[in-house]
Amino acid sequence: MSRELYRGTFNYQGEVHTIYRHTPKTASWFQITKVLAKELGISHYSIRQFFSGNKDNFTIEKIK
């Protein structure tokens, strides 16, 4: 399993958070949202619900 560099950019209530993580592609969303939850001091469940894909409030992209 290859670990590549991903950048997650999240707009959480008007604040933009950018997180970089080396992770396999299949785990990138889960790993990055886990770090964001810890940064914000809220549950990972809350972050997953807020960034569920219903809104255009985040991007995750592979960095070359």
Give pLDDT tens digits for 1-60.
678 999 999 999 999 999 999 999 999 999 999 999 999 999 999 999 999 989 999 999
Q: For the chain, how many structural domains are there in total?
A: 1
Residue 49 lies in a domain: no
Give the structural domain span for 21: 1-27+56-64
* Closest to 63 in 3D by CA, of 31, 36, 25, 30: 25
Residue 12 lies in a domain: yes
pLDDT band at 64 (very low <50, low <70, confident <90, very high): confident
CB-CB contact of 55 with 38 (8 Å): no
Residue 26 exposed, middle or buried by CB count within 10 Å (0-12, 13-18, 19+): exposed
pLDDT of 1 reads 65
pLDDT of 12 reads 96
Residue 63 lies in a domain: yes
Residue 37 lies in a domain: no
Residue 14 lies in a domain: yes
Residue 51 lies in a domain: no
